[in-house]
């Protein structure tokens, strides 16, 4: 009898279509050696705001991949995650894998001031002792994986985004410079540039205070070039829009942006639509739709193949070689 693998998600959440697409992709693979099933979990709130979570059907002795909804508020996301994990443990699941397309709290990865928590470590402590593995995409700081003592797959979204660009916009890529909007994004920019055979520039920023970008200095030549600004996430879009202004002043032609996680808080979408960006490309690590100058690329195939490889005991790292 083939091993049964369950894909679990909340049908009331924005992630359900993503999880359903993963299941359909897995089930359509004629070479699969396991049986995949799509199962529902229920996440709801009591009148006082408390989260209550439950699993709809039997999971005993099953390998479970819980696909969590990144569009939830961080607090609801964290509590419902630990509740579902606890329910799976108490229901005698054989293995528990958390599929977290966007890992919330990953920016709180160090003590920024005295007497402050490292919340990414707090979250790791809530997860690592009860689950068998974690799958996520483009952690803000990959060193976070050191807080876990379990298999942890930090997937890379840039190959998926690059394939999308090469298929849909080949002409734009012929005259290209990749720009990192800060020093922390330089490695990601190098990964894009290597695949495109393009040069790299860096927009160096100074912050007046948290959330407010001061002076920005461009290191590199973008005059007469198309530009893609790359980053792991877009939150308020303040840094990104400041970089676009700097690039336009430096003579860049068409200015695009690519990022894995589109958080889009504090009127970020309105800010981007009014900016120098012709296109802003993000993934569906946080469920959302294309609109205005924002285009959404799906990571469904990447997560489906990752789950397929894990459930068949095959290498995940080979996907990125």
Select which of 205, 225, 242, 279 is catalytic.
205
Q: Is 248 a catalytic residue?
A: no
Closest to 272 measured CA to CA, from 248, 256, 251, 252: 256
Question: Distance between CA atoms of 131 and 148, rounded to whole angstroms?
Answer: 10
Give the DSSP letter of residue 43: E
The dihedrals phi and psi of 141, each to the nearest 5 degrees, come to -135, 105
Give the DSSP letter of residue 211: T
Strand order in the sheet with 63-67: 51-55, 35-45, 4-9, 63-67, 95-100, 133-137, 152-155
The answer to whether residues 76 and 13 touch, using CB atoms and an 8 Å cutoff, is: no
- Which residues are within 8 A (CB) of 17 and not within 5 positions of it... i.e. 6 or more apart? 287
Neighbour count for residue 44 (Cβ, 10 Å): 12
CA distances from 5 to 8, 32, 36, 98, 303 (A): 10, 11, 5, 13, 15
Which positions are annotated as active-site residues?
Answer: 205
């Amino acid at each position: 009898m083939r091993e049964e693998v369950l894909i679990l998600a909340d049908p009331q959440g924005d992630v359900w279509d993503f999880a359903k697409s993963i299941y359909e992709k897995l089930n359509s693979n004629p070479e699969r050696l396991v049986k995949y099933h799509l199962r529902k979990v229920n996440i709801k709130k009591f009148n006082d705001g408390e989260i209550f979570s439950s699993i709809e059907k039997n999971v005993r002795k099953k390998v479970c991949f819980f696909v969590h909804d990144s569009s939830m508020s961080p607090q609801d996301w964290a509590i419902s995650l630990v509740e579902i994990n606890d329910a799976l443990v108490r229901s005698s699941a054989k293995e528990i894998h958390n599929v977290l397309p966007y890992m919330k709290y990953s920016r709180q990865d160090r003590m920024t001031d005295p007497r402050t928590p490292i919340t990414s470590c707090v979250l790791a402590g809530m997860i690592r002792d009860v689950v068998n593995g974690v799958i996520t995409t483009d952690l803000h700081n990959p060193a976070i994986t050191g807080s876990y003592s379990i298999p942890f797959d930090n997937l890379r979204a840039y190959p998926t985004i690059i394939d999308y660009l090469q298929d849909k916009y080949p002409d734009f890529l012929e005259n290209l410079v990749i720009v990192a909007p800060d020093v922390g994004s330089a490695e990601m920019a190098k990964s894009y540039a290597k695949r495109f055979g393009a040069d790299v520039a860096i927009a160096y920023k100074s912050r007046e205070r948290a959330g407010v970008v001061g002076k920005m200095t461009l290191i590199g030549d973008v005059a007469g070039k198309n530009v893609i600004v790359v980053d792991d996430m877009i939150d308020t879009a303040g840094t990104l829009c400041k970089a676009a202004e700097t690039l336009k002043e430096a003579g860049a032609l068409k200015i695009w942006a690519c990022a894995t996680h589109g958080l889009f808080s504090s009127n970020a979408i309105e800010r981007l639509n009014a900016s120098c960006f012709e296109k802003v490309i993000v993934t569906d690590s946080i469920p959302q739709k294309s609109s205005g100058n924002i285009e959404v690329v799906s990571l469904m195939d990447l997560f489906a193949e990752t789950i397929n490889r894990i459930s068949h005991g095959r290498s995940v790292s080979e996907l990125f070689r």
